[in-house]
A and B are shown apart, each in its own frame.
Chain A
Amino acid sequence: MTAARGGDLKIELGRRYRFAASHRLHSAQMSEAENARIYGKCNNPCGHGHNYTVEITISGDVDPATGMIANLADLDNFVQREVIDPFDYRSLNDEVEVFRAEVPTTENLCIEIYRRVRAFPHAKLERVRVEETSNNSFEYAGEEVFSGSDEAL
């Protein structure tokens, strides 16, 4: 705790985006009966959809000339191109390459969005949070978060 108190000030910027998409939870590694048992109504063969909310959090030095970690328009354009355009009003199973092999749970969606937004060149990606509905949300911050090196509790 004492160390945390003396730490430098850190600033992060959070930005929320929305997209709507359909998916079906079904694993080719399990039988029809197992899929139905594990995924329940999410295994409906015809699929279903959600209004997703994506929260992107970035960090970095605040540029004294602009007062910003990164230009918001740059972040918006990047996320629009890499995440919203390829996902919005799409079938995640049929139209997003990675979900041909992986089950498009929101856990996996979080990881995929993290992988895409990590390439944003103007700031460090801290974490991705996805709300599948207003009651279910998922968060991924890369694997280094589990090293425990910067946990203060």
Chain B
Amino acid sequence: MVLLTRKIEFSASHRYNNPALSAEENQRIFGKCNNPHGHGHNYTLEVTVAGEPDPVTGMVVDLADLKKILEQEVMRRMDHRHLNFEVPELAGQIPTCENVARVIWNLLEPKIPQGRLHRVRLYESPDLFADCYRNGAGRNGSAS
């Protein structure tokens, strides 16, 4: 099995606020991420596909296809958007790194044309990231 990773970057704004909680509780739990005006990040997304290289093309997945899928599913939805208001898949969820990574996983998994989606790693900043993978497949793809 070979792992292939494609990286893209997008920028988006968000705010952490749970309407079921009081303003004080939101402030206590989310701190500066609760700023009513929102804030933003430059996100880096690493998408890893696992598979055997095709005997004819030598590819696990055609990178041009993968680029198109990432453009369609992630960039068009999230780049230069407000994650709270403009991404229906995140409706009703706090747009944390964990939740955004899971939404991206769910968008991408059925679209991967060759091989299988192995890991989604979403960096909110160089020092904070969330990994999403199927249970049991994680550690093999954690080489970074």
Contact = CB atoms under 8 A, between A and B. Distances in A.
B133 A10 contact: yes
Interface stretch (B5-13, B55-63, B65-73, B96-104): B96-104
Contact of A62 (B21, B31, B102): B102
B137 A4 contact: yes
Contacts, number: 94
A15 B137 contact: no
Interface in B100-144: 101-102, 105, 116, 126-140, 142
Nearest to A127: B142
Contact of B18 (A8, A12, A16, A66): A66
Interface residues of A, number: 34
Nearest to B142: A127
B43 interface: no
A145 interface: yes
Interface residues of B, number: 35
Interface centre among A12, A62, A151 (most CB of B within 10 A): A12
Given A7-B136, A16-B128, A68-B96, 14 more contacts: A7-B134, A10-B138, A13-B98, A13-B131, A16-B126, A62-B96, A62-B102, A65-B21, A66-B29, A67-B93, A67-B98, A141-B139, A145-B139, A153-B140
Interface of B: 1, 16, 18, 20-21, 29-31, 93-99, 101-102, 105, 116, 126-140, 142
